[in-house]
Amino acid sequence: MTESRKGRDDQTALARLTDELVECIHCGLCLEACPTYVELNREEDSPRGRIYLMRSVAEGRAALDGSVLHHLDVCLGCRACETACPSDVKYGFLLEHTRTHIEEASHRPVWQRLGRRLLMEVFTHSATMALAMFFATLPSRLLRRPPSAPGGIVSRIMGGHGDGGDLRLERFPSLRPSRLPRLTPAAGEKKLRVGLLEGCVMPVLFPEVNLATVRVLSKLGCEVVVPPGQGCCGALHVHNGYGRQAARMALRNMAVFEAAQCDVIVVNSAGCGSTMKEYAGLFPEGSPERERAAAFSVKVRDISEVIAGLLEQADLKPVEMTVTYHDACHLAHGQKIRSEPRRMLSAIPGLKLVDLPESDHCCGSAGVYSFTQPDMAVRLLKRKVANIESTGAEVVATGNPGCQMWIRSGLKLEGSSVRALHPIEIVDLALDGATTSGDSPSRH
């Protein structure tokens, strides 16, 4: 395909976004909310700068070349700009549709395309991920070193110029993903029938979070169903330009959870929950799939939305612990959920909740961003870790596995004693009667 033909195709594809692109009035209120702009102080690495680039391509004034592609790739997709925007510009929608065109039009070198596809396959199938993590940590096992998985090699394959750094893990992952019971009855009177998304990363790296989720829901009067046949929610695919594949995953999960006949569908991963609440956007306007997805998404809840209300009548035991809270991007900016996790933690006797500076500033994990953009990811991680340590907290709580893994790795690299936990693990301690900060929330 000639360059001129490719440029016309880019223009045609992005022209469909014109109505949304012109909604940006370039006021600049998004600038200080954007982590990459704060770090780089470059207009083209700000939300309005990237919208200008998208619009320039859509109007035929610029080519979707390596320079434009770089500035779009450096974007975390954290959607903090949406929270700051007075014009309600749907930046996440614009970015995701532009990235879908980039991947479908094959704008990348072949090795990067293959590398991205491989990352999608590894991180969105728990059995494949367990196998990959087992072999990635094999040198640490053989050398009897603390568990870690190399990130630098993958980062360079994906086009990074620096070392993504090793991922410091809490323990060696099992060769087989942890699986939850298909049905867990409510303790006492049943208040809700809850369907739980088991997830891709959770069964491999955070099985204790899934187990704590089931225990807490059951103790608070929920019958918990983990329907067989569910799969990846499609979040990583949506965020990285594989929208068509995400739509197929959405249809599969919708069918599975509809058959389970649940009152609500609970998700303990912020990125997954955000995508599932926006399934309708994966399908064309006016299509039956879009209407079905909209009806499905009404039932989707982050775990904190369900638990915050149920805790009001629960018998909570003291947990003597100082905790700070990191807002996962797709919880705070994608789902607009900020108060519920804090209310959940504040309800626990003995727990001291302290504010985290820049609590909703991205940690740099952002799905597979730490592999595709390692330099920026590490810069943001160091900033996040410094803010966490400044609070004097013993624990940083966050409701997303990517954040938890990345922040935990950063804390270990800095030699910090602060632990990174999911809020539901701390609630599990309170319901179980733990009384000291030395109690471990993990039960493995």
Buried b (16+ CB within 10 A) or exposed e, 22-35: eebeeeeebbebbb
Listed in order, strand segments (DSSP E) in 14-68 are none
If you ran DSSP here, which 8-state letter would residue 334 be given? I
Q: Is 429 helix (H, G, I), strand (E, B) or coil?
A: helix
> Domains of the chain by range and CATH?
3-104 (1.10.1060.10), 313-432 (3.40.50.1860)
Q: Is the pLDDT of residue 149 over 70?
A: no
Which stretches within 143-287 are classed as H helix? Answer: 152-157, 202-205, 207-219, 235-239, 243-260, 270-277
Both tokens of 104, joined, read 């479908």
Average of per-residue pLDDT across 373-377:
89
Mean pLDDT of the chain: 87
pLDDT tens sequence across 40-84: 999 999 999 999 999 888 888 888 888 899 999 999 999 999 999
pLDDT tens sequence across 236-283: 999 998 999 999 999 999 999 999 999 999 999 999 999 999 999 999
Res 105: pLDDT:
79
Q: CA 273, CA 302: separation in Å to the nearest integer?
A: 6
Both tokens of 120, joined, read 């999608």
Res 413: pLDDT:
86
> Residue 174 burial (CB < 10 Å; 0-12/13-18/19+)?
middle
Both tokens of 46, joined, read 């700000």
Cα-Cα-Cα-Cα torsion 336, 340, 342, 344, nearest 10 degrees, comes to -160
Q: CA 405, CA 368: separation in Å to the nearest integer?
A: 12
Res 127: pLDDT:
85
Q: Which residues have CB under 8 Å from 287's CB, separation 6+?
A: none
Residue 47 near residue 27 (C-beta atoms within 8 A): no
> Residue 7 burial (CB < 10 Å; 0-12/13-18/19+)?
middle
> Residue 109 burial (CB < 10 Å; 0-12/13-18/19+)?
exposed
pLDDT tens sequence across 332-353: 999 999 999 999 999 999 999 9
pLDDT tens sequence across 89-101: 999 999 998 898 8
Q: In the chain, how long is the greatest CA-to-CA distance?
A: 68
Q: CA 399, CA 407: separation in Å to the nearest integer?
A: 12
- Please give the full DSSP string across 285-320, using - where no structure is assigned: TT-HHHHHHHHHHTTEEEHHHHHHHHGGGS-PPP--
Residue scoring higher pLDDT (145 or 323)? 323
Over its C-alpha atoms, the chain yields an Rg (Å, rounded) of 21
Q: Residue 311 phi/psi, 5° resolution?
A: -70, -20
Q: For residue 297, which of 259, 333, 258, 326 has the smallest C-alpha distance?
A: 258
